[in-house]
């Protein structure tokens, strides 16, 4: 597998994954991204002229375009990062999520089968399992119980992938990772939003009481996991990826406040969102035991490195802050600023 089509490669995880491939492998990469909400050309600027890389603007729902790319570049494998991803936005415009996360995945799978692609990787999420009870962790065989339109769209995509595996022998693998954080993550997400607020002397908005818990996974560790699964994972399987860094939103906020020497007066609790899962927790022993993957970065190192990246890339942040789409959304979700 020499030629890879990566969809959604101008987004957060996708751009970090391409950066990993270009630095450590000899794969030829075609990046197909619609540059909708989270797709950002600034995320891929540092490798846009790389000899093993090509960018094409387009939508995964455009099956004709996908087929043309597969044929022109002799694509061997597809890794699908393309998705609408933010739960809050899915509550405002669920139809966008159904189109990208369900219809788009089906289109890619059809192209995979028709063009005899060797491997298809679907990037999913731990949110498909729903909220975990205390001391409970979901494994790859756990029931899917999505509670938001975003989670439901991703769970639907997973089931469609399964159906293509069973019905058409599609060479597909599903990866379900916990909450990623790191460089190039859009500032609507909690960690970069919190850092941005403090840098602009604004309070960090936190839903409810801030007790919602997530297992935080540094994006570079997740990208290493995806590469390991891509190269060595078993077709037809599902792999959970987690780092065992479970922390509440209020804990994360306090870590960021302490970094900047601020106190809890810089926190503003806002009305909780509907369908806000209290806790996510998944068991990643399968990838650890079968493929030998494990995170190499401590949470403390990774969160400090992440904060420093946003401090050093304020022009990247400012371009998003100027975006009318972001301003409108932020005011609707949290408060008028």
161: domain CATH number is 3.40.50.720
Q: Is 271 a catalytic residue?
A: no
Evaluate whether residue 261 is within a structural domain. Answer: no
Average pLDDT over residues 309-330: 81
84 vs 168, higher pLDDT: 168
Q: Which of 126, 221, 246, 277 is catalytic?
A: 126
Considering the domain boundaries, does residue 80 fall inside one? yes
In this predicted structure, the answer to whether residue 336 has a pLDDT above a threshold of 50 is: no
pLDDT at 333: 52
Residue 120 in domain: yes
Asked whether residue 207 is domain-assigned, the answer is no
How many C-beta atoms lie closer than 10 Å to residue 139's C-beta?
13
- The answer to whether residue 246 is domain-embedded is no
Residue with tokens 């990643």: 284
Angle at alpha carbon of residue 207, lines to 204 and 208, rounded to 5°? 125
Residue 27 pLDDT: 98
Task: Kindly report, residue by residue over 140-187, the tens digit of the pLDDT.
Answer: 999 999 999 999 999 999 999 999 999 999 999 999 999 999 999 999
Give the predicted TM-score (pTM) of the model.
Answer: 0.94
Give per-residue pLDDT as tens, 30-67. 999 999 877 889 999 999 999 999 999 999 999 999 99
Check residue 326 and give its pLDDT.
66
Query: How many beta carbons lie within 10 A of that of residue 316, not counting itself?
Result: 17
String of DSSP letters for 102-163: IIHHHHHHHHHHHTT-SEEEEEEEGGGG-PPPTT--B-TTSPP---SHHHHHHHHHHHHHHH
Give the total number of structural domains in the chain: 1
How would you list the strands of the sheet with 246-248, edge to edge? 179-181, 213-218, 246-248
Does the annotation mark 215 as catalytic? no
Q: Which of 27, 150, 218, 239 is catalytic?
A: 150
Identify the weakest region by mean pLDDT among 83-92, 95-104, 217-226.
Answer: 83-92
333 falls within a domain: no
**Is 184 among the residues known to form the active site?**
no
What is the pLDDT at residue 85?
79
Query: Of the residues 127, 188, 246, 277, which is catalytic?
Result: 127
What is d(CA 16, CA 37) in angstroms, rounded to the nearest whole number?
A: 17
Report strand pairing: 3-7 vs 77-80: parallel
Model confidence band, residue 312 (pLDDT cutoffs 50, 70, 90): very high
In this predicted structure, what is the pLDDT of residue 337? 26
Question: Per-residue pLDDT averaged across 130-140, rounded?
Answer: 96
Does residue 274 fall inside a structural domain? Answer: no
Check whether 321 has a pLDDT greater than 60.
yes
Distance CA(183)–CA(151), nearest Å, equals 23
Asked whether residue 19 is assigned to any structural domain, the reply reads yes
Domain that holds residue 42: 3-180+216-241
């Amino acid at each position: 597998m020499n030629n890879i089509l990566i969809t959604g490669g101008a987004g957060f995880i996708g751009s970090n994954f391409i950066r990993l491939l270009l630095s450590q492998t000899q794969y030829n990469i075609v990046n197909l991204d619609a540059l909708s909400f989270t797709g950002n050309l600034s995320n891929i600027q540092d490798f846009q002229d790389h000899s093993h890389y090509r960018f094409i603007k387009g939508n995964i729902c455009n099956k004709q375009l996908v087929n043309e790319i597969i044929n022109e570049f002799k694509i061997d494998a597809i890794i699908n990062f393309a998705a609408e991803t933010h739960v809050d936005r899915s509550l405002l415009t669920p139809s966008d999520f159904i189109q990208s996360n369900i219809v788009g995945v089906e289109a890619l799978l059809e192209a995979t089968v028709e063009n005899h692609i060797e491997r298809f990787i679907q990037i999913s999420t731990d949110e498909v399992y729903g909220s975990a009870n205390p001391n409970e962790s979901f494994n790859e065989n756990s029931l899917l119980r999505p509670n938001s339109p975003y989670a439901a769209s991703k769970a639907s995509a997973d089931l469609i992938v399964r159906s293509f595996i069973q019905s058409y022998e599609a060479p597909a693998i599903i990866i379900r990772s916990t909450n990623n954080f790191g460089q190039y993550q859009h500032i609507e997400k909690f960690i970069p939003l919190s850092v941005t607020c403090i840098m602009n002397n604004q309070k960090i908005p936190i839903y409810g009481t801030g007790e919602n818990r997530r297992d935080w996974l540094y994006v570079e560790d997740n990208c290493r996991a995806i590469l390991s699964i891509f190269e060595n994972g078993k077709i037809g399987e599902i792999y959970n990826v987690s780092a065992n860094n479970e922390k509440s939103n209020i804990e994360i906020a306090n870590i960021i406040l302490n970094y900047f020497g601020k106190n809890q007066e810089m926190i503003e609790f806002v009305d909780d969102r509907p369908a806000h899962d209290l806790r996510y927790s998944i068991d990643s022993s399968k990838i650890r035991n079968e493929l030998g993957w494990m995170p190499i970065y401590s949470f403390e190192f990774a969160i400090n490195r992440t904060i420093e990246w946003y401090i050093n890339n304020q022009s990247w942040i400012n371009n998003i802050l100027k975006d009318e789409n972001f301003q409108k959304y932020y005011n609707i979700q949290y408060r008028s600023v």
